[in-house]
Amino acid sequence: MAELPVPELPAVLSRSSGRFTISTLLGMEEGGRGPYAPAEGVGCDSAHPTHLSGSTLCTRTFGYNTVDVVPAYEHYANSKGVGDAGKSRPSLADLHSILKPDPGHLRAPASDPQRSNGLPEAGPEEAPGEPGRAPAPEPVRFGWVKGVMIRCMLNIWGVILYLRLPWITAQAGIALTWLIILMSVTVTTITGLSISAISTNGKVKSGGTYFLISRSLGPELGGSIGLIFAFANAVAVAMHTVGFAETVRDLLQEHNSLIVDPTNDIRIIGVVTVTVLLGISLAGMEWEAKAQILFFLVILVSFINYLVGTVIPASAEKQAKGFFSYRAEIFAQNFVPNWRGPEGSFFGLFSIFFPSATGILAGANISGDLKDPAVAIPKGTLMAIFWTTMSYLVLSATIGACVVRDASGSLNDSVAVGSPGCEGLACDYGWNFTACAQRQSCRYGLSNYYQSMSMVSAFGPLITAGIFGATLSSALACLVSAPKVFQCLCRDQLYPLIGFFGKGYGRNSEPIRGYMLTYVIAVGFILIAELNAIAPIISNFFLCSYALINFSCFHASITNSPGWRPSFRYYSKWAALFGAVVSVVIMFLLTWWAALIAFGIVVFLLGYVLYKKPDVNWGSSMQASSYNMALNYSVGLSEVDEHIKNYRPQCLVLTGPPNFRPALVDFVGTFTKNLSLMLCGNVLIGPRKQKTPESRLTADGHTKWLMKRKIKAFYTDVVAEDLRSGVQMLIQAAGLGKMRPNMLVLGYKRNWRTVSPQSLEDYVGILHDAFDFKYGVCLMRMKEGLNVSRVMQAHVNPTFEAAEHPEENGTGGRAAPDTADPAALAGEQQASTIFQSEQGKKTIDIYWLFDDGGLTLLIPYLLGRKKRWGKCKIRVFVGGQINRMDEERKAIVSLLSKFRLGFHEVHILPDINQKPRPEHIRRFDDLIAPFRLNDGFKDEATVNEMRQGCPWKISDEEVNKNRAKSLRQVRLNEILLDYSRDAALIAITLPIGRKGRCPSSLYMAWLETLSQDLRPPVILTRGNQENVLTFYCQ
C-alpha cells in the first residue's frame, strides 16, 4: 500500500510487507503519539493555515482553512498521462495521510502497492458424461470399407464420369484433363485430411458434417451449414434421381415407348424411383448398405467392361465412330488441348468436372452408424479419394489413346491408306472424316459423342447399368445423409419449429420423420423437372461445407488450444487454409450468383443464431480464439503507456452476492457497459476450509445471474477472516495487467450506528485502504437501502447492512433464494431498480465542491450518455463568493467547455458558508453524542489512554478542531434539500477524513448528515487526485 516516506519508520511497520494493519492505519501507539502524528502546531483541516493550505480562496469560500482546493484551470494544464497531477492540486497523500511539517515529504511519489502474482487454480477439465441408461439392443454398425469407402466412392462417381469425362478429355487434352482432375482432387484431399483431423479429435457422434463443423467452430457457423447442407442433400436426391429418369426416358425414346411425353415421363419415373429408394432407406441402414454394395458391384463391372472393350480389336462400325484401339498417334494428338464451343476454356471445363470430385462427405454424414468413426472416416474417405482419382486418370488416359476427336459414324467414309485429299489422323487408319470435321458436323468422336464409353465398351448396356448405379447410389446416399444431419441439428434446438423431426426410431435411432421430410422435398423438386437453376446453388452449398471444414481445421490449429489433439497427424493448418480459400474461389468460378446466394443464406442463418445465443457449450475453437485474442490484447495493453484521453473508470464493486444489491450492480453496470471493467467482489468470511467449497459452488451461479440481468461484469470472491482483510486482497489482486480496477464502489452503511464498533472501524478502514492503494472511491446511498435480501445466508458480509431489517428494503415480502444453489440463483426473478427505468426530463445534479481530478464529473457524464438517462439535464454546482459569482461561473463554464462534456448549466453556491439552522446543528450533535469520549479537553496522552480499545470514540478536541467541517456537511445537506429534492441523481464530491486523526464515527456522521433525507440516489465520489479529464488532444 502506498504510504508517505517518513524519516523514521517503526520496526513493526517495516515488517508489514507494504500493507498497513488496522492498528497502523489508526496511527496511534499505546500511551503516546503515533508514528504519523503531526508535529506540534501543525493542524489538519483547521482554522490555522499551514504551508499546504495557502489557498485563500478556499478559506473565503468555505469559511475554514483546508488543504483541499476548488476546481481550477491550472490543475489540468500541461497534463499528459494518468498520474501526472497538476502543480497546485494536493496529492491524495496530502489529503488523506497525516500532515508532515517537512514539505519535501509531502509530495514525494508513493511507491505502488505490491501485488500478488497468484493465479487461480484451474479446475479439472470436465466433459459431459453419458447419461446412465438400461442396455439397449446393439445397433447396426459399419466398418471403414462398407460404411465410408464404398459409400464415398459411390457418391463421388456420377454421370459426369460416364458422359462428360471423355468430352472433357477431347477439349482439354489428356495433360490438362489430368491437371483438372488433380486440381479438383487437391481440394477434396485437403478437405479429407481436415475431416480426418477433426474426426479424430474426440468422440464423433451422429450428425456428420454438421456435427464436425458445429463442435469445431461453434453453433453459429455449424448451425447455418447444417441446415443448408441437409437441404442441399435433400435437393441432391432429386437431382440424381432426375439424372436417372432422363437416362431411362432416352432409352424409351429410342424404342418409341414413351409413357406420356418427355417431361412428364421424367416426373413419373423420378417419383417412382425416389419412392423405391425411400422404401430401401426405411427398411434400415443394413438394407441400404446392401443396396449400395449392389450398386458398387454394378459400377465395377461396367468399368471392367469398358477396359476390356479398349483392348478388343475395333470393328468397322466402331472405327467409323472413331475407335481404333490403343494407338500412340491418337494418344499424342489427344494429349494437347483442342478448345471448341462456348465452354471451351480451362476454367469452364474445370467448373463442369469439379462436382464429380465432390461427395467425400457421404461417409462422415452417417458418423453415428460407424463402429469407430475416428478410424473409419479418415481411412475410408482418403481411400475413396485415392481410388476414384485413379479411375478418373485411367479413364481419361485410356479413352484419349483409343478414340479420335472427330468421326462421322458412316461406314461409307472408309478409304485406302494414303488417299489424296484426306486430312486428319484417321486417314492413316483408312477412314476419311475430313468433310464433317471441316464443317464441324461430325456426330461421333470424343468431341461430339457423349456416349463414347458405351461405344468403346465390350457390352454397351453395362455402361448404361453403370450410369444407373452411379445415379441411384448417389441419390440413395443423399437420401440417407440429409435426415441424419438434420436429426442432429433438430436435437440441438438451434432453430425453432424443427424439434419435431429430431425423434429417432429403432435400434439405430432412425430419423423416420426426417426421411419423410426429405422425400417431400425431393418429390417437389422432381416435379419441377428443371434443375439447371438449382444445381449450381447445391454445388455451392457443398463447397461452403468444404470451406468451413478446412477453416475449422485451420482455426483449431492456429488457436493452439490444448484441447486440439487429433490422433490423425498427417494434416497441415496452412494446407487447410489453402483448401478453404480455394473452395471459396471455386464457388465463384462455378457460378458467381449462386455463390452470393449461398453466402447470403449462411450469413442470415448465422445472424439468427448469434441473436438467439443458444445455451450450448461445445468447447469450440472460437472460444479458444476468444481467449487468445483477449490474452494477446491484454499483454499488448501492458506495453502501452496510459493516457488521460483513454482513462476509463474500472470498478471493483463490493456487492457481496450480486443479487443482494441489484441497484448497486445496475448503477455501475449502466456506465461501464461496453466501456470499461466491472468486477463484482464478494468476501466470504469464515474458515478457509469451510468457505472455499461454497465459493466454488456459488461463483457460477452469480456469474449467470449477472448474464441474465445483461450486466457485462466479472464476479470474484475471496475467503478471509474478516471483511477488511478480504477487501484488501481484492484491491491488491483483482484484475490483470492494465485491466485492473482503479475505483472502489460500495454501498453506504445505513446501520453504522447500531452495528458493532469493530464493524464500523472496518468499513471506514476499507475507504482508507482504497485511498492508500491510489483508488478512487464511490459510495452510493439510496433512501430505501440497497440490500434486497430477506434471508441472510451465512456468508453475507455482516458489516454490509447485515443487521438491517428486511422490511426496510422494499422486497415485497419475497424471500431471497438459497445462494448456495447456482441453479436457483440463475433462475431467480430479477428485482427491478431505478437504474432500469427511463428517467425522463429530470436532472442529474453534480456538486463539484473539491477538485478530485474530474472523477466526480466523469461518472455522471458517462451515465448521461445512456438511453435511459439521455433526457436528463445535467447541472453543476460549485462553491463561490457572493461578490464574485459571475467571474467564478464564467471560469467554471470555460473549464467545462474545454472538457467537452456538454455541461452548460452551472450554478454558484454563494451561501455555502452560511451557518446551518440551529435544529440541524442539534441533530448533528445528537448524532455524535453516543460516540463522544467526553474527556473534557484533556491532553493527548490522557485521551489516548482513555480511548484504548475504542478508537472510534470522538474526543472533545477532535470535535472542536473539526467543527467547521462538520457544520459544512450540515449546511450542504440543507442546500441539497433546497436545490436537488426532485433530481434523478445527486453526485457529490466525497469528503475525506484524515487517517488517524478523524475517528470513524465522526466521519460516518459527516456522511450521514450530508446525505440524509434525500429522495434521489446519492453517489459520493472522490478520485485519487490525479487527472481523469483533459482538454488536450495529445
User: Residue 142: what are its φ and ψ, rounded to 5°?
Assistant: -115, 150
Among 82-91, 541-550, 956-965, which is the least confidently predicted range? Answer: 82-91
Higher pLDDT, 212 or 1012: 1012
Residue 645: closest CA among 77, 1030, 84, 85: 1030
Confidence of residue 635 (pLDDT cuts 50, 70, 90): confident
Q: What is the grid cell recorded at 83?
A: 498520474
The CA distance from 492 to 714, in Å, is 28
Mean pLDDT of all residues in 693-719:
88
Numbers of helices and strands, H then E, in the chain: 37, 10
Chain mean position to CA 484: 29
- Residue 254: C-alpha distances to residues 162, 249, 303, 320 (Å): 19, 9, 24, 21
Residues of the chain above pLDDT 70, percent: 84
In this prediction, residue 516 has a pLDDT band, given cuts at 50, 70 and 90, of: very high
Range name among 20-24, 610-614, 690-694 with the lowest pLDDT average:
20-24
pLDDT reading at 25 higher than 60: no
Other Cβ atoms closer than 10 A to 662? 23
Q: What's the mean pLDDT in 294-316?
A: 91
pLDDT score recorded for residue 1001: 92
Least confident range from 174-178, 415-419, 886-890, 996-1000: namely: 415-419
Cross-sheet strand order for the sheet of 714-720: 714-720, 678-685, 651-654, 743-747, 776-781, 1018-1022, 985-989, 843-847, 873-879, 905-909
HSE-up of residue 946 (Cα within 13 Å, Cβ side): 16
Mean pLDDT of 821-843: 76
pLDDT at 19: 36
Q: What is the mean pLDDT of residues 760-775?
A: 94
Q: 85 is written with which cell numbers? A: 497531477
Given this model, what pLDDT does residue 725 score? Answer: 94
**If residue 986 lies in a helix (H) or strand (E), which one and from where to where?**
strand 985-989
Report the C-alpha gap between 88 and 906 in whole angstroms: 23
CB atoms within 10 A of CB 497: 7
Per the prediction, the chain carries an average pLDDT of 80
Q: Would the pLDDT of 44 be above 70?
A: no
* Between residues 994 and 97, the one the model is more confident about: 994
Listed range (403-417, 890-904, 911-925) with the worst mean pLDDT: 403-417
- Mean pLDDT, residues 642-668 taken together: 91
Angle between helices 165-199 and 346-353 (to 10 degrees): 60
- Torsion, Cα 942 946 952 957, to 10 degrees, reads -40
Question: Is residue 113 very low, low, confident or very high in pLDDT (cuts 50, 70, 90)?
Answer: very low
Least confident of 17-21, 181-185, 849-853: 17-21
* 132 or 950, which is more confident: 950
Reported confidence tier of residue 529, pLDDT bands at 50, 70, 90: low
Q: What pLDDT shows up at residue 766? A: 95
Higher pLDDT among residues 418 and 778, named by residue: 778
Each residue's pLDDT tens digit, 205-249: 777 778 877 887 788 778 887 888 888 888 888 888 888 888 888
> What does the block give as the cell for 788?
434486497
The more confidently predicted of residues 1020 and 163 is 1020
| pLDDT of the residue at 229 | 82
In this prediction, residue 189 carries a pLDDT of 93
Residue 138: predicted pLDDT: 65
pLDDT per residue over 875-899, tens digit each?
Answer: 999 988 888 888 889 999 999 998 9
- Average pLDDT value for residue range 801-830: 46
The residue written with cell numbers 461453434 in the block is: 218
pLDDT at 131: 44
Q: What is the mean pLDDT of residues 682-691?
A: 85
Nearest to 444 by CA among 395, 412, 411, 405: 405
CB-based burial label for 728 (10 Å; 0-12, 13-18, 19+): buried
> In sequence order, what are the beta bridge partners of 683?
718
Q: Which of 139-143, 671-675, 857-861 has the lowest mean pLDDT?
A: 139-143
d(CA 790, CA 809) in angstroms, rounded, equals: 9
Weakest-pLDDT range from 269-278, 479-488, 671-680, 1019-1028: 479-488
| pLDDT score of 8 | 41
Weakest mean pLDDT among 17-21, 431-435, 713-717, 761-765: 17-21
The phi-psi region of residue 842 (left if phi > 0; otherwise alpha if psi is between -120 and 50; otherwise beta) is beta
In this structure, of 175-184, 433-442, 902-911, 979-988, the range with the lowest mean pLDDT score is 433-442
Evaluate if residue 331 carries a pLDDT over 70: yes
Within a 10 A sphere around the Cβ of 810, how many other Cβ atoms? 13
C-alpha triplet 751, 756, 759: angle, nearest 5°: 80
User: What gap in Å lies between CA 194 and CA 206, rounded to an integer?
Assistant: 18
571-594 mean pLDDT: 90
For residue 948, is pLDDT > 90?
A: no
C-alpha to C-alpha distance for 302 and 298, rounded to whole angstroms: 6
> Which grid cell is 921?
446543528
pLDDT number for residue 1034: 60
Report the pLDDT value the prediction gives residue 78, as an integer from 0 to 100: 60
Predicted local distance difference test score (pLDDT) of residue 300? 93
pLDDT band (50, 70, 90) for residue 396: very high
More confident residue, 948 or 722: 722
pLDDT tens by residue, 858-870? 999 999 888 888 8
Residue pointed to by grid coordinates 445462494: 819
Average pLDDT over residues 656-676: 91
Per-residue model confidence (pLDDT) at position 748: 93
Q: How far apart are the first and last CA of the chain?
A: 31
Map grid coordinates 477412314 to a residue.
431
Residue 563: per-residue pLDDT? 79
The pLDDT-based confidence of 829 (bands split at 50, 70, 90) is: low
CB within 8 Å of 438: residues ≥ 6 apart: none
Q: What is the pLDDT of residue 533?
A: 62
Give, in degrees to the nearest 5, the angle at Cα 936 between 934 and 942.
90
The pTM for the full model equals: 0.67
Whose grid coordinates read 448398405? 289
Say what the pLDDT of residue 621 is.
72
Average pLDDT rounded to a whole number, residues 941-948: 76
What is the rounded CA–CA span in Å between residue 581 and residue 677? 38
- Max CA separation in the chain (angstroms): 143
Q: Is 954 helix (H, G, I), strand (E, B) or coil?
A: strand
pLDDT of residue 574: 94
Q: How many CB atoms lie within 10 A of CB 9?
A: 12
Residue type, 801: E
Output the nine-digit C-alpha cell for 506: 429403432
Mean pLDDT comparison of 311-325, 926-940, 974-988, highest-scoring range:
974-988
- Mean pLDDT along residues 707-722: 91
Task: Tell me phi and psi for residue 427, to 5 degrees.
Answer: -60, -30
Per-residue pLDDT, averaged over 646-663, amounts to 91
Length of the chain: 1034
Distance (Å, whole) CA 652 – CA 257: 85
Contact 315, 409 (CB under 8 A): no
What pLDDT, in 10s, does the model give residues 446-487? 888 888 888 889 888 898 899 888 888 888 888 888 888 888
pLDDT value for 57: 55
Average pLDDT over residues 324-337: 89
Instruction: Return the sign of the alpha-carbon dihedral for residues 415, 416, 421, 424.
Output: positive
* Greatest mean pLDDT range, 85-94, 445-454, 608-617, 762-771: 762-771
